[in-house]
Amino acid sequence: MTVRWGRAVGALALGGLALVGGVLVAQGPEPGGIEDLWLLFGAPDRGAVDFATLTRRPGDALACPPGQCRAASDRVPPVLPVPGDRLRAIVAQVAAEEPRTELAFQARWAEEDRYVVRSEWLRLPDTVAVAIVGAGEGRSTLVLYACPQFGVLDAGGNRARLERWLDRIEGLARTKVAR
């Protein structure tokens, strides 16, 4: 009889947790929703990134020009025929086109920005850090680092996002030059 009672209590507890979780997810970005729960684990913006000393984490993705990062890069970003301020504006445009993406930080004196991107259902936050790197007169490249707040829960999303952003950035930069 005690084992049955224990299982019943366990099942009720699990059901209650599932119900609470469902309500949090249903609330979404509203106050008291799932985003408030994630705040218990820290701010969604992971803070400044020192690309020269960056240590990779599970679930992250990095695109870095040669000589800019100690860590191994998943992709080498192209040198684009646009000045840094224009490339920064293109990155902002690409980020604005991405669903559930918001600017979290914009450096005043350096060409560095950070965006928080949330997953669709659980609204898990990832940070995308961007640094524009000059590459000569009227040319620039960038460093992109996408990192999940919760480690290995990414399932390749950051790598796919990095590839998608880089392809779109390159396309816009080359199109704007051709005009």
User: Per residue in 44-100, pLDDT tens?
Assistant: 666 788 999 999 988 899 999 999 999 999 999 999 999 999 999 999 999 999 999
Asked whether the predicted pLDDT for residue 31 surpasses 80, the reply is no
The 101-106 sheet, strands edge to edge = 61-63, 140-148, 125-134, 112-118, 101-106
CA 175 to chain centre: 25
Coil, helix or strand at residue 114: strand
- Confidence class of residue 32 from pLDDT cuts 50, 70 and 90? low
**CATH fold label, 43-178:** Alpha-D-Glucose-1,6-Bisphosphate; Chain A, domain 4 (3.30.530)
Angle separating helix axes 157-178 and 84-97, nearest 10 degrees: 130
Backbone angles phi, psi at 139, to 5 degrees: -130, 150
pTM, two decimals, is 0.76
Counting every residue written for the chain, the total comes to: 179
Q: How much is the pLDDT for 8? A: 59
Per DSSP bridges, beta strands 101-106 and 125-134 are unpaired
